[in-house]
């Protein structure tokens, strides 16, 4: 029994091009190894192939080459979809159903009976913040509400692995925060959450591991800690009351405004030198902020055309 | 894969859920009620027509009424049928359904059963109204329900055709192909009868007969004349109609399932 929730090997997929001329290489040999019990971010710019990969996992697309396993079961088998939850990119639902009816329907597709669903549906609606909205037809749901009911249907079978395509899209900051909390609580229950996103801040906050996909290939993959080696890249020093015109042999002035000064320096020793100079010039030190490498820096350096 | 009894009952529960959802989709759409209103209007119209003609009023109501009933349900089968799979793919509602633990064949069969349930309700409602009219004109006969049974067999075939096309191509092409099937189905036997005497040689005749057997023949299900002239329907006729329908539906649904299972859902 492997301890991998998702195992993808050399996955390749092409699509017919415009007017069937040529082929579009959406995936060019994707490898992924997602351990169980983690929150895994699947990141990449538009068109990188995230949705294509997720559709292969959900059994909607057949890969040209390579294989993928969910909880040890090859995708494409019915069994592979028993213990997973899936949220497609922009959830489209039967708009003639109410939110509760939709969840009932998907519950039945998982073999759940009436009694189980009568308990489960209201509970799920509450978890995703749609309490009291269950009897409203989906036609009348807002984009964010559809996203939430989409999340609810992905959880109806108490899946061990939850695969979400852009779960935060269409949500306001409060909604995004709620979804982040929900994902964290799923991990606390021992579940694996695999989600795609290009909102790096969201990913950085909650992911244990990430993979960065660009042009159909994984360009880096691993734990966030390792990828963003804890090193400080630069310090910002904020000062006031320093009137000297050309004070700085060290660092570079980022802004100068109303007698306040923001100086960026690269080395820790330089920070000390700068602070000494500032004190002896009678300036006040307002703040010293170390800046570590962020996911965004990593992302930009990995994506072709991203590095400036 | 092994099909345990549990697997079987889960499979059936899923298919039933899909069918129920298809049914609900239909009865919550406006088209359903427009068609029903149209059907009621046409049936009342045929009753009015009978007042203006000489001869047996009941016979005219039966003839016109059954024609109207057949026409409207056939149109429903074709024009709803061609969207059964296509719209699910087009509207992307299918992504969520197929990411659940069920096979694509189940999806096809579920949609088919749901649609046949809708047509059963349509057909029964129209026949009930026709029966009421006949009671009013003192010409009621249970035969209209026998005729309804044969109409239902035809609907079963046409829905399977429409569904097959819906799972492989666009609604416009599906509509053209299904209509073509319908027309050929109603003319092929007449065509064979008129052509057969002109084909020379026993071999040529045999070949022609075989060729026409490949074409759909919806006249094996046609009891309009029998009902209209009050000729009893032979058991052999009924059995042949049922077997013919079952074979056609099985063939078409199998083809639809095979074609659809191979498709990428993008
Ligand atoms: N049905 C299709 N036909 C042709 N090309 C397609 C199809 N679906 C995807 N592609 C192409 O495959 C590539 C990957 O698309 P995909 O949707 O997987 O990207 P993504 O990473 O999900 O992007 P986004 O962040 O915008 O959602 C793109 O170049 C896209 O144009
Ligand atoms: Mg995408």
**A305 lies in some domain:** no
Highest mean pLDDT among A162-171, A298-307, B192-201: A162-171
Q: Which residue of A has its CA nearest to B261?
A: A60
Domain match, A63 and A103 both: yes
Q: Do A62 and A179 reside in the same domain of the chain?
A: yes
Tell whether A194 and A287 lie within a shared domain: no
pLDDT digits (tens, 9 = 90+) for A60-105: 999 999 999 999 999 989 999 999 999 999 888 899 999 999 999 9
A161-165 and A209-214 strand pairing = unpaired
Q: Do the domain assignments include residue A74?
A: yes
- Residue A270, in any domain of the structure: yes
pLDDT of B150 above 80: yes
Residue B266 in domain: no
In this prediction, residue B256 has a pLDDT band, given cuts at 50, 70 and 90, of very high
CA-CA distance, B79 to A225, in Å (whole number)? Answer: 58
Interface of A with B (CB under 8 A): 15, 55, 58-62, 77-79, 81-82, 84, 86, 88, 90-94, 96-97, 105-106, 108-111, 150, 153
* A236 and A156 fall within a common domain: no
pLDDT at A13 over 80: yes
- At residue B82, the 3 state secondary structure works out as coil
Within a domain: residue A307? no
> Are A161 and A240 in a shared domain?
no
A299 assigned to some structural domain:
no
- Per the structure, the count of domains in chain A is 2
User: What are the Cα distances from residue A200, in Å, to A49, A60, A170, A204, A302?
Assistant: 17, 27, 15, 6, 14
**How many Å is the Cα radius of gyration of chain A?**
24
Last residue of one domain, picked from the residues A200, A227, A254: A227
Give the domain extent around B208.
10-261
CA distance A146 to A149: 5
Place of tokens 């009348």: A140
Whether residue B4 is contained in a domain is answered as: no
> Which of B8, B30, B32, B96 best probes binding to A when mutated, by most A CB atoms within 10 angstroms?
B96
Query: Tokens in use for A152?
Result: 């609810």
pLDDT digits (tens, 9 = 90+) for A185-231: 999 999 999 999 988 888 888 999 999 999 999 998 988 877 777 67
Q: Which of A78, A91, A93 sits opposite B103 (nearest CB)?
A: A78
Q: Do B63 and B228 touch, CB atoms closer than 8 A?
A: yes
Which of A187, A203, A227 corresponds to the end of one domain?
A227
Q: Does A285 lie in the same domain as A152?
A: no
Residue B202 has pLDDT above 90, yes or no: no
Average pLDDT over residues A115-142: 94
The tally of domains found in chain B comes to 1
What pLDDT sits at residue B1? 44
Instruction: Tell me the best of A27, A43, A48 to mutate to test the pocket of ligand 1, counting ligand atoms within 8 Å of each CB and taking the most.
Output: A48
Indicate the residue of A88, A90, A108 with minimum beta-carbon distance to B17: A108
Range of the domain at A89: 4-227
Q: Are residues A247 and A99 in the same domain?
A: no
Which residues in A lie closer than 8 A to residue B103 (C-beta atoms)?
A: 78
Longest Cα–Cα distance of chain A, Å, equals 78
Subunit contact B99:A59, Cβ cutoff 8 A: yes
Identify all chain B residues contacting A153, using CB atoms and an 8 Å cutoff: 96
Ligand nearest to the CA of A11: 1
Statement to judge: residues A238 and A146 lie in one domain: no
Are residues A58 and A141 located together in one domain of the fold? Answer: yes
pTM of the entire predicted model: 0.86
The CATH number of the domain where A147 resides is what? 3.40.50.300
Extract the tokens encoding B45.
């119209």
Domain stop point among A211, A227, A243: A227
Question: In chain B, which residue's Cα lies nearest the Cα of A157?
Answer: B100
């Amino acid at each position: 029994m492997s301890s991998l929730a998702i195992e993808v090997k050399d996955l390749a997929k092409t699509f017919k091009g415009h007017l069937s001329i040529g082929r579009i290489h959406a995936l060019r040999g994707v490898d992924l190894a997602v351990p169980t019990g983690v929150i895994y971010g699947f990141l990449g710019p538009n068109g990188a192939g995230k949705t294509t990969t997720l559709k292969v996992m959900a059994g909607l697309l057949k890969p040209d080459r390579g294989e993928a396993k969910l909880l040890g079961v090859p995708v494409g088998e019915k069994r592979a979809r028993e213990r997973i939850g899936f949220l497609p990119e922009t959830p489209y639902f039967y708009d003639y159903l109410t939110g509760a009816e939709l969840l009932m329907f998907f519950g039945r597709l998982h073999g759940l009976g009436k009694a189980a669903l009568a308990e489960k549906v209201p509970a799920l609606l509450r978890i995703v913040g749609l309490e009291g909205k269950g009897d409203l037809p989906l036609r009348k749901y807002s984009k964010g509400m559809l996203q939430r009911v989409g999340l609810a249907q992905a959880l109806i079978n108490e899946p061990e692995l939850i695969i979400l395509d852009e779960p935060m899209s269409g949500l306001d900051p409060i909604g995004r925060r709620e979804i982040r909390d929900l994902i964290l609580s799923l991990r606390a229950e021992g579940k694996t959450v695999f989600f795609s996103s290009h909102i790096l801040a969201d990913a950085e906050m909650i992911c244990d591991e990430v993979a960065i996909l660009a042009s159909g290939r994984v360009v880096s993959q691993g734990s966030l800690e390792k990828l963003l080696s804890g090193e400080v890249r630069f310090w910002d020093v904020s000062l006031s009351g320093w009137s000297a015109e050309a004070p700085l042999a060290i660092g570079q002035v980022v802004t100068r405004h109303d007698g306040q000064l923001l100086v960026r320096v690269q080395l820790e020793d330089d920070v000390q030198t700068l602070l000494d100079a500032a004190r002896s010039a009678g300036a006040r030190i307002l703040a010293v902020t170390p800046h570590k490498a962020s996911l965004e820096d990593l992302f930009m350096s990995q994506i072709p055309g991203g590095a400036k | 894969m092994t099909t345990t009894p549990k697997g079987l009952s889960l499979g059936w529960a899923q298919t039933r859920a899909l069918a129920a959802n298809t049914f609900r989709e239909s009865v919550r759409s406006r088209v359903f009620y427009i068609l029903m209103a149209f059907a009621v209007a046409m049936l009342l119209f045929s009753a009015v027509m009978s007042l203006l003609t000489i001869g047996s009023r009941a016979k005219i109501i039966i003839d016109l009424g059954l024609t109207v009933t057949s026409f409207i349900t056939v149109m429903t089968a074709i024009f709803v049928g061609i969207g059964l799979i296509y719209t699910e793919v087009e509207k992307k509602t299918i992504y969520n359904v197929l990411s659940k633990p069920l096979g694509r064949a189940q999806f096809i069969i579920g949609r088919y059963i749901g649609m046949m349930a809708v047509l059963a309700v349509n057909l029964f409602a129209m026949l009930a109204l026709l029966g009421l009219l006949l009671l009013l004109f003192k010409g009621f006969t249970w035969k209209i329900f026998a005729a309804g049974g044969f109409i239902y067999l035809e609907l079963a075939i046409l829905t399977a055709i429409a569904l097959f096309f819906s799972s492989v191509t666009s609604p416009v092409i599906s509509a053209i192909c299904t209509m073509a099937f319908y027309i050929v189905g109603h003319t092929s036997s007449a065509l064979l009868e008129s052509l057969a005497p002109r084909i020379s040689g026993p071999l040529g005749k045999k070949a022609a007969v075989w060729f026409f057997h490949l074409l759909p023949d919806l006249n094996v299900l046609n009891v309009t004349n029998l009902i209209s002239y009050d000729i009893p329907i032979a058991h052999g006729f009924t059995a042949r109609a049922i077997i013919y329908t079952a074979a056609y539906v099985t063939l078409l649904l199998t083809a639809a399932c095979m074609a659809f299972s191979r498709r990428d859902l993008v």
